[in-house]
Amino acid sequence: MHIVTGGAGFIGSNLVRQLLAAGCEEVVVVDELSDGHKFVNIADLAIADYLDKDEFMDRLEGGDFDGGIDAILHQGACSATTEWDGRYMMRNNYGYSQRLLHHCLEKKIPYLYASSAAVYGASKAFAEHPDNEQPLNVYGYSKLQFDRYVRRTVDTSSSQVVGLRYFNVYGPREQHKGAMASVAFHFNNQLLADGEVRLFEGTDGYGDGEQLRDFVYVDDVCALNLWFLEQRDVSGIYNAGTGHAQTFNDVANAAIDWHGKGAIRYVPFPSHLEGAYQSFTEADLTALRETGCDVEFRRVEQGVRDYLDELSG
């Protein structure tokens, strides 16, 4: 049995889909469906069961699943970078992750979890090293603090623990995320509604739409999770990005090229994001490649095309 927490969410539901496609017959989704719109992400997936995250934790710690779990892939979290309720964020992202970790260590269950490039925040270097970790919001801090906690245990662990620092992931099954959905998703909707794409004007020394991010397609980060599942002797915290920063203009132009028409309009940079915005991210894949990982990551031009093909299908 493979457990995917956050399995009705964006990355989680795509991971469930790939696990099923890979032949995993018993995949259990754990989530919290206060936002019932997320059901569409798993409605087409033949999962073995669905459990609310609190019920799952009670049953897990009560021994209901002893001996029956092949791996836990923990994707569940509050991922809103604009959420400033620190108590909620730490309870949801840090405390819950700790409880899962200790259970997996005790039962020797492989534990793969979602970290985030938000841990780097204001940094200009993106190798997995404490010197580079400067989160700009409490979401990034919650992810960083759990990574720190893992670092104190992973070297002495006798079972697999892998944290994946997702960069800017985009792709199918993210429509429920609203404002937190990827720019590729929003650009497509803007083109459909208005025939134009709206990008921020320049900031932090970057020109209009020239801010750089490491945009990574969701199927590729899911393939990375599956690769680690096959490498049970590899543990650690690794970046999950393409290793190639591209501009927001690149994403906009890829969407415009797919539609065959459209224009770009630049809008003022929001004042509430000043000092809390990453204008540049680029995954350093040195540590990942040193594990022998050969998963390839598509560039924006291919990924956006694949994404919009899927949305239009």
Known catalytic membership, residue 177: yes
- Alpha-carbon distance 3 to 22, whole Å? 15
For residue 13, the surrounding DSSP H or E stretch is: helix 10-21
Q: What count of Cα atoms within 13 Å lies in the side-chain half-sphere of residue 228?
A: 29
Cβ atoms of residues 55 and 29 within 8 Å: no
Of 79, 19, 3, the closest CA to residue 222 belongs to: 19
Q: What is the pLDDT of residue 95?
A: 94
Six-digit token string for 29: 């989704």
Q: What is the pLDDT of residue 82?
A: 73
Cβ atoms of residues 11 and 169 within 8 Å: yes
Q: What is the pLDDT of residue 257?
A: 98
Q: What is the pLDDT of residue 313?
A: 79
Q: Which CATH number fits domain 2-167+217-242+288-297: 3.40.50.720, 3.90.1300.10, 3.90.180.10, 3.40.50.300?
A: 3.40.50.720
Could you give the C-alpha distances from 90 to 106, 118, 143, 147, in angstroms and in order? 23, 15, 9, 13
Predicted TM-score (pTM) of the model is: 0.95
Of 276, 189, 40, the closest CA to residue 181 belongs to: 189
| Second-level CATH architecture of 175-212+245-279+303-312 | Alpha-Beta Complex (3.90)
Helices (H), 62-129: 86-89, 96-107
Cβ atoms of residues 9 and 16 within 8 Å: no
- pLDDT tens track for 266-276: 999 998 887 77
In the chain, residues under CATH classification 3.40.50.720 are 2-167+217-242+288-297
Cα dihedral: 92, 93, 99, 102 (round 10): 180
Beta bridge partners of 217: 170
Q: For 161, phi and psi rounded to 5 degrees?
A: -135, 120
Beta bridge partners of 30: 5, 51
- Active-site residue, selected from the candidate residues 111, 139, 170, 238: 139
Six-digit token string for 195: 């025939």
Total residue count of the chain as it appears in this document:
313
Cβ atoms of residues 49 and 29 within 8 Å: yes
Query: Beta-carbon neighbour count of residue 94 at 10 Å?
Result: 17
Q: Inter-axis angle of helices 248-259 and 300-312, to 10 degrees?
A: 40
> Residues in the chain with pLDDT < 70?
none
Q: For 91, phi and psi rounded to 5 degrees?
A: -65, -45
Of 122, 136, 119, 156, the closest CA to residue 238 belongs to: 119
In the chain, residues under CATH classification 3.90.25.10 are 175-212+245-279+303-312
Of 82, 271, 74, 301, the closest CA to residue 170 belongs to: 301
Q: What is the pLDDT of residue 280?
A: 92
- Active-site residue, selected from the candidate residues 50, 53, 149, 177: 177
